[in-house]
Structure 1
């Protein structure tokens, strides 16, 4: 993540720990931090240009989410990536995604709708420009706003790590047409939420997970 992006996020009021988390998460999702690799805290402070405290907090959160493993006196291991696990992630994710989509359609405010529409526009622009990283960033924003719009912090906390694992698998398993299909599936879900159609939104969430299942080995 470049420094312009970091500055932009800083203007949103995010803490240094949140900024460090986003940077490291992106590097894990896009495999810049390779699965199974072992790094140390100094390496992460160097690549994020962050201090030890925010990096340490970010690592603790990523370890809780199952993306890292803290090994005392040995370093920090990046979680292995077994494509066979993608289906297990989607099994765990499908039910909670339906709840979030339904509740976002029921309770989402106009501000959420504006942000969801912006995320949809960014996804479609990424599709047109074949911009995988741009799509992943828009997808992260979508997941965050979805959780906020649903007004169900319990479901959002359950979904968040599963969504990150899904992005990582998607990046690893993508093939020609994946960007277009994924952007289309997300756009259909966003339209149903903005239209305040809870049943349709839940069904579109299921269709999104169904599309992702086609990528699993």
Structure 2
């Protein structure tokens, strides 16, 4: 029972620290310490330490010798490399997951995506990043889990963590297109059309890549 409690607390700490990183509250290049995080999150240092090790393993934190851990400063080259690997893996994961994701989960995803398109969330026509990230996690993560290969699911999850730093902060113009692309993926998954699910995922990731390249070209 104690081990299960420790694991649950570590996962809670992981999610909270991850949220600090993805929302920008913990800025790229910032040093993070167990003591400060324990005070911020009102938790003991043991689950914080376990959570930091998990985030280091995912590449979101980089160890800087005796100075401790630093939030990774994601270079565009790092992003493009991770996205390239995602383009190799996620279409096949979608193919394997087609027809195997729970209908209730797909129904919820479809309803949430349509709601986001109709009501972005902050009254100014701008996307609510928290809601978008939640739907994105549930779709891509659910595909990885439904593919039936835990190692593949973990690799995809790690790569996605690294690319999420360049999410809607970098590509707000992709919001509505992303929702529609996700709806195409959901429909193919629901109907068990593996080849179409793979193609929809491939097309989605290609559009993400093209948007980043276009933004760099215009800069």
| TM over 0.5, shorter chain | yes
> For residue 115 of structure 2, what is the aligned residue in structure 1?
125
Change (3 A) 1:80 1:154: same
Structure 2 residue runs of 5 or longer lacking an equivalent are: 1-6, 122-126
> For residue 150 of structure 1, what is the aligned residue in structure 2?
147
> For residue 80 of structure 2, what is the aligned residue in structure 1?
87
Match of 2:33 among 40, 43, 46: 40
Change (3 A) 1:154 1:170: same
Aligned-partner SS, 2:161: helix
Aligned-partner SS, 2:73: coil
C-alpha distance in 1, partners of 2:201/2:183? 11
Structure 1 residue runs of 5 or longer lacking an equivalent are: 1-13
- TM-score w.r.t. the length of structure 1 is 0.84
> For residue 115 of structure 1, what is the aligned residue in structure 2?
105
Residues 1-217 of structure 1 correspond to what in structure 2 (within 5 A)? 15-106=8-99, 108-109=100-101, 112-127=102-117, 128=119, 129=121, 130-175=127-172, 177-216=173-212, 217=216
Change (3 A) 1:168 1:121: farther
Aligned-partner SS, 2:70: strand
Question: What is the CA RMSD across the aligned residues, in angstroms?
Answer: 1.8
C-alpha distance in 2, partners of 1:170/1:99? 23
Change (3 A) 1:139 1:49: farther
CA drift of 1:46 comes to 2.7
- TM-score w.r.t. the length of structure 2 is 0.84
